């Protein structure tokens, strides 16, 4: 009689589980763009800055203050400057398809809106460069600069030239964002020409617009 030896087959090896890939976190720049271009983006804050005027008789400078609001495609911006003892306030509001403007609390004028918005500007494919972290508005923030000024139209930010102001040109534009891309503000440098006391002048303007809140913003069309 032959005696057989029972040989057990080796146990099948357990498959090695495939590790779940770790999502790559969005960069500050990409996160900023996603937040700004959201259809329900809204922000409100204050404007500070300075204006320098070059006249034939010399130069002078003064402060700028104001407020800034944006909600979706609507915006409301009020900017006051004081130069040579003269205070000028320029109000601009965009609600729906209409743009409203007035100077020094006068009558509102109404015209079709340009159709340019903050969301549209950031989402248009403009090149933004993260220049690193700097101290701004009392925080450590990323400076996101716009590479090409040629396509910058300040009406996208609710800012327009007032009566008698010409050749409004933007020389630099930077956004500010926290590490996670939360928008914190923007800085604008621009120039324009106008007459002061019937004398031609060239003005250089610097604006720092801080974002104080990203919710609860209300914008309505002027009624008078």
Q: Tens digits of per-residue pLDDT, 197-217?
A: 788 888 999 999 999 999 999
Of 13-17, 172-176, 211-215, minimum mean pLDDT range: 13-17
Complete domains list, the chain, with CATH: 28-212 (2.50.20)
Q: How many CA atoms lie within 13 A of 30 on its CB side?
A: 4
Q: What is the pTM of this model?
A: 0.84
- Whether residue 1 is predicted with pLDDT greater than 50 in this model: the reply is no
- The three-class DSSP label of residue 139 is strand
pLDDT band at 176 (very low <50, low <70, confident <90, very high): very high
Q: How many CA atoms lie within 13 A of 70 on its CB side?
A: 28
Q: Tens digits of per-residue pLDDT, 25-43?
A: 789 999 999 999 998 999 9
- Whether residue 187 is predicted with pLDDT greater than 70 in this model: the reply is yes
Mean pLDDT of the chain: 89
Placement of tokens 């937040």 in the chain: 35
Q: Tens digits of per-residue pLDDT, 147-166?
A: 888 878 888 888 888 778 88
Of 116, 110, 81, the residue nearest 93 (C-alpha): 110
């Amino acid at each position: 009689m032959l005696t057989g030896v029972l040989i057990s087959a080796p146990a099948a090896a357990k498959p090695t589980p495939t590790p779940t890939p770790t999502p790559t976190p969005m960069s500050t720049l990409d996160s900023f763009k996603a937040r700004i271009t959201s259809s329900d983006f809204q922000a409100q804050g204050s404007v500070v800055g300075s204006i320098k005027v070059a006249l034939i008789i010399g130069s002078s400078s003064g402060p700028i203050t104001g407020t800034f609001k944006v909600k979706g495609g609507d915006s409301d911006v009020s900017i006051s400057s004081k130069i040579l003892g003269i205070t000028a306030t320029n109000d601009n509001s965009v609600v729906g398809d209409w743009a409203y403007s007035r100077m020094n609390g006068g009558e509102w004028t109404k015209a079709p809106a340009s159709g340019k918005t903050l969301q549209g500007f950031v989402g248009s494919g403009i090149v933004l460069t993260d220049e690193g972290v700097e101290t701004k508005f009392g925080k450590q923030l990323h400076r996101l600069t716009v590479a090409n000024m040629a396509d910058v139209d300040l009406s996208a930010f609710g800012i327009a030239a007032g009566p008698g102001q010409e050749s409004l040109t933007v020389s630099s534009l930077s956004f500010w964002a926290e590490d996670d891309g939360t928008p914190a503000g923007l800085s604008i440098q621009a120039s324009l020409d106008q007459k002061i006391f019937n004398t031609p002048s060239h003005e250089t303007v610097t604006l720092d617009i801080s974002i104080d809140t990203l919710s609860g913003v209300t914008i309505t069309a002027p009624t008078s």
